């Protein structure tokens, strides 16, 4: 249950980072 909650939090954080990167057009993923 703790792991599931942690995974969900990590996914939300990852989505926020990706969305922010798209706005900045400087995503490390796009660089790859």
Percent of the chain scored above 90 by pLDDT?
3
Mean pLDDT of the chain: 76
pLDDT at 23: 77
Q: Where are the domains of the chain?
A: 2-31
The arithmetic mean of pLDDT across residues 1-23, rounded, is: 83
- CA angle, corner 3, sides to 5 and 10, nearest 5? 55
Asked if 6 and 17 touch (Cβ cutoff 8 Å), the reply is no
Residue 9 DSSP label: H
Question: Could you tell me the pTM of the whole model?
Answer: 0.49
């Amino acid at each position: 249950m703790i792991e599931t909650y942690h995974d969900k939090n990590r996914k939300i954080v990852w989505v926020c980072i990706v969305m922010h990167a798209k706005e900045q057009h400087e995503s490390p993923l796009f660089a790859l």
